[in-house]
Each structure stands twice: as C-alpha cells, then as structure tokens.
Amino acid sequence: MKESDNENRPAVVFLHSTRKCKEWLRPLLEAYASRGYIAIGIDSRYHGERASSKTTYRDALVSSWKNGDTMPFIFDTAWDLIKLADYLTQREDIDPTRIGITGESLGGMHAWYAAADTRYKVIVPIIGVQGFRWAIENDKWQARVGSIKAVFEEARTDLGKSTIDKEVVEKVWDRIAPGLASQFDSPYTIPAIAPRPLLIINGAEDPRCPLAGLEIPKARARKAYAEANCSDNFKVVAEPGIGHQMTPFMVKEASDWLDKFLLKQ
C-alpha cells in the first residue's frame, strides 16, 4: 500500500491457472495493492499448499470420475470462492460493494462461476470463458480435453473405447462437473451476470476457448445487458493472433475495467 488510512478499500481477487499457485500471482497482487486495492490470491483446491504432491490435482480428477466424490475441475473452488466472499465482506478494511474477481485460464473459469455470488461486483475472466456444449457439437473439444487428459484417458479405458471421442468427453463433464455442458454452460450463466460489469478477455486464436463458441452466450448477454439498460457494462475483447496465453495487453484491459467500476473517481 502506498499509504495507510482507515478508508474502506476496493478488493480484487486474482486466481491462478492450472498447476500454478497463489505465489505465482504475487507481482500482479502487488501491482493492484500499489494502486489502492486490497489484493487477494488463494490456492485453488488441489493446488499449491492445498496439494499434497505434484499429482494431487490429476488424482482428484480421476477420483471424481471413478467415485463422484468431489468436483475438482471448477465447482469445488467456485464453492471456496463463495466462502471467500463471506470472509471479505466481513473485513473492516474492505468496501463490500467494491469487490472484483478475475483470473487466468482455470482461474478465469473460477472467476466466471464464482460470479454466481452477487457479492462479486465486477467480473473479468481471462482466457477462461468457452462453450462446452458448443465444443462437443462442433468437434472442438480436443485442446480443452488435452489440458487435463489423464481423466479422459481413464474414462476412455473404463468405457471400453480405443480413443477419446465426444461421448467420452460428454460423460466426463457430466461426472466431474455436472451441468457444465448443459444448464451451467456459458449461454446460460454468462447472461445471468447482468447487470454487473463483465469483461471477457480471450485470445482470438485460443483452441481451448474458441471464439466461435462464444457467439450464442455473447448475443444473449448483450440482450440481457440491453434489457437492464446497462449495455456498457458488458464487453468481449479478443486479442488478435494470440492463443491460450495471458498477455500484458490482457492484464491492462482487465485492470482498466476493474479501475473503471471499482476505484472512486
């Protein structure tokens, strides 16, 4: 912090990507703190200090497929973020009306789903929003599946298949994240964030989050924001020539959006 006072401050939660941890975010958290935010990073479940080995996340995914005991891909951490909102809104140094959430890749998905909690007032998922059903129907699931391939290979074997196909993909999603490719997919959950400010940032060439899969959720969200008379609260930015990576441009776009809605002008 540049200075110390008794004023309640805005807060930003920044979430890490797969196989990273909260410490990896420290430069970003310090940058937000230097601008007057209280900046928060947590280890996603099965990551960082919440992992007992290098394979904890992989093992949790496989166990979820086999036993249905956890929902490690997105929903477990989304629940943790709801509990985090309980904590943040009770802190005397945080303004509970000015809490934003953002994240990269897996963290972007976590930010997207944590937005179900309306205490997160500004939402900026970075390289995370995608159409899971669209990917299955348009044979564009391979890159996303490849990011956590072990659980799909386990399912392929259990289902007696020689290769991972769309049936395997659909069964895995239904098991480890029920509703991910149906009622909780982006065409339904993205418009539901209205009227809160929402900025979606992706790479234009991202195979894990193909832009074509966002056409329906984007159109539905624009309609929802227009009906709420706050069309300026929704924006999609796709950086040309960029695949599945967070860039300085994306970080600046996210920061500018958070500043616009959370910092007192």
Return the axis-axis angle of helices 26-34 and 248-262, rounded to nearest 10°.
Answer: 40
CA distance 202 to 177: 22
Cβ 181 vs Cβ 133: under 8 Å: yes
pLDDT of residue 264: 75
Sign of CA dihedral 193, 251, 208, 234: positive
- pTM for the structure as a whole: 0.96
Question: Does the pLDDT value for residue 30 go beyond 80?
Answer: yes
- Pairing of the two strands 234-239 and 9-15: unpaired
Give me the torsion for CA of 26, 122, 110, 243, rounded to 10°.
Answer: -80
Q: What is the pLDDT of residues 184-242, one digit of tens each?
A: 999 999 999 999 999 999 999 999 999 999 999 999 999 999 999 999 999 999 999 99
Work out the average pLDDT over 17-39: 95
Q: What is the pLDDT of residues 109-130, one digit of tens each?
A: 999 999 999 999 999 999 999 9
CA distance 229 to 90: 31
pLDDT of residue 191: 98
Hey, what amino acid is at 14?
Answer: F
Which stretches of the chain are assigned E, i.e. beta strand? Answer: 9-15, 38-40, 94-104, 122-126, 198-203, 234-239
- What percent of the chain is modeled with pLDDT above 70? 97
- Pairing of the two strands 198-203 and 234-239: parallel
CA distance 77 to 130: 18
pLDDT of residue 5: 67
Q: What is the pLDDT of residues 89-116, one digit of tens each?
A: 999 999 999 999 999 999 999 999 999 9
Question: What confidence tier does 7 reach under pLDDT thresholds 50, 70, 90?
Answer: confident
Dmax of the chain from CA atoms? 63
Q: Which CATH architecture has domain 9-50+77-131+181-263?
A: 3-Layer(aba) Sandwich (3.40)
CA distance 171 to 106: 20
Work out the average pLDDT over 35-61: 96
Work out the average pLDDT over 37-47: 97
Q: What is the pLDDT of residues 168-185, one digit of tens each?
A: 999 999 999 999 999 999
Q: How far separated are the first and last CA of the chain, in Å rounded?
A: 18
Nearest to 236 by CA among 211, 199, 189, 190: 199
Nearest to 96 by CA among 262, 265, 255: 262
